[in-house]
Structure 1
Amino acid sequence: MKVALLFFSGTGITANFATEIAKGFQYHKNVVDLIRIKSDLQVDLTKYDIVGIGSQTYSFRAPRLVTRILHHQDFQKKPFFLFCTSGGMPGNTLWNLYKSVKRTGGYCLGFIDGIGITNIRSWMPKLSSPKPKFWGLNHGDCEQAQQFGNLILDRLEKIKNLSSFSKNKKWIPNFQIVTSIWSIFFTWRWEMALTVGLKHVDKSKCKMCGLCATTICPSGAITLTVSKIPKFNEWKCVGCNGCVNLCPTTAIWSIRSKNHHPYDHYNKSIINFDL
């Protein structure tokens, strides 16, 4: 059986959570492809038996870039499941993902969420203070993520063994009206970009590796000049905080973030993803 795990991740938290989920399927000898959601996403899902869709949480909802990309994908009526990460309040993130997929997807087999801490660099401790000792995913959530694959496989078998199957509402995430109202006003692209601030490059630190443009940024907001120095299109920035956190030499900074520790706990999950 082949499983596709599509995920949006700015600094690697959700990417790592997706990896933990993948382990549960791989334990049962299933093939899992991890696919990072970026603005240029093109994926053929016809060869997969199950599709997982995940995202980090932006102020109680899935990033609007993500739902827009998913809305234009053809999920081939494949059974699917959902996952997300947040600082503890996922809000309508799972519902947003479900709504974006259900038009062309098959049965929703369930959902899971993981808890970490925020990746907004300006909210991290200042450089004059020690780095946080615990700033990764909750250990218990990682264990549950690995077990989640068993649950999904069991539910898939249940569907296959029934001649007629009605959707189980417990497998579909709930819609929260209060957080939805909040999201109407406070989750637009430019507002999320403000969590990063206007970005600059310290040319004395920049090694011209190009990772910020080719690997880190998911929205196409970074290009490279002829001399391979990053150039930022703030109108495309979605506030993932990837560039200011994951630049290997911390050459990218904003006024809000430069005096704070970068959130680079899962940097390899993004920087090494395509290697």
Structure 2
Amino acid sequence: MTASKRKRIVLSLLPLAIILCFVYGYPLASVCISAFRGFGGSSDGQFVGLENFMTISEDIPQTVTTTLIWTFGSVLPAMVFGLVIAMICNRSFKGKKVVVAINLLPYAIPLIIVASCWRFVYNSDFGLINVFLEKIGLIDEPISFLSFDTALIAVIVARIWRAIPFAFMNYYSALTTIPQEQYEQASIDGAGPFQRFRYITLPNLRATTSSTIIVLTVWTFLVFDIIFGMTGGGPIDATMTISMRIYREMFSMKNTGTASAWSLIAIFILTLITILYWKLMNSKEDDYVE
């Protein structure tokens, strides 16, 4: 490639780079600056160092733990269920289009509506789950699914239900691109279903798995609507994730500094998780090559 051609490519990409820097760089810079400034009182607008982080330090361990349980407890089951459903739908059977459409339906529902629906399902008085369990005689008294002990599990189930279609769509699309000749050749060589899945299906889905799990992790980590609509972060902070902390500090406490501090913590954790994901996927790729 000649120098003039490289120059033209760089110049053609320059406007896009400037736009991206403005769209992503300016908000990030604003958050970083706000995290080290005071808001309100005598320190309004002044540099306060790590004071904002010290203010939230007592809540960091529990909130981060809750957020990680919420994230991985939602993403990993959604990935597994999405793959299983995709493998089922990759076969030919009667009513396949209906099954595919039903599996995609949750993805078309806004998150706040999902929260409202699941709150109704979990209702202690007339919720579908309690009514069903009472009808078949498994319980004598209604179960309070959104109580302190079970609220986190309840919102995770709702998130899994909403996230499965995304994993399903990605896996289903990837499965249709795997040549059937590979499976036929493996069957001729005596490979069983598990061996075909391990040595043909999984390697071909490696790129899809990498992108899907990263996107779902970031989305779930920052999801606000489901928790806000179902529990509001309670009861007693049982479902208080980082995104809920940011909302509370910003709009309830009116403290931009601590809200920005929580945002930086979220950025750091997500960056670390993404790096670990890529390293894990690269190590798996080396295993397949060997």
Bigger Cα Rg: 2
Pairwise same-fold verdict (TM > 0.5) = no
Flag the structure with higher strand content. 1
Flag the structure with higher helix content. 2
TM-score by length of 2: 0.21
TM-score by length of 1: 0.22
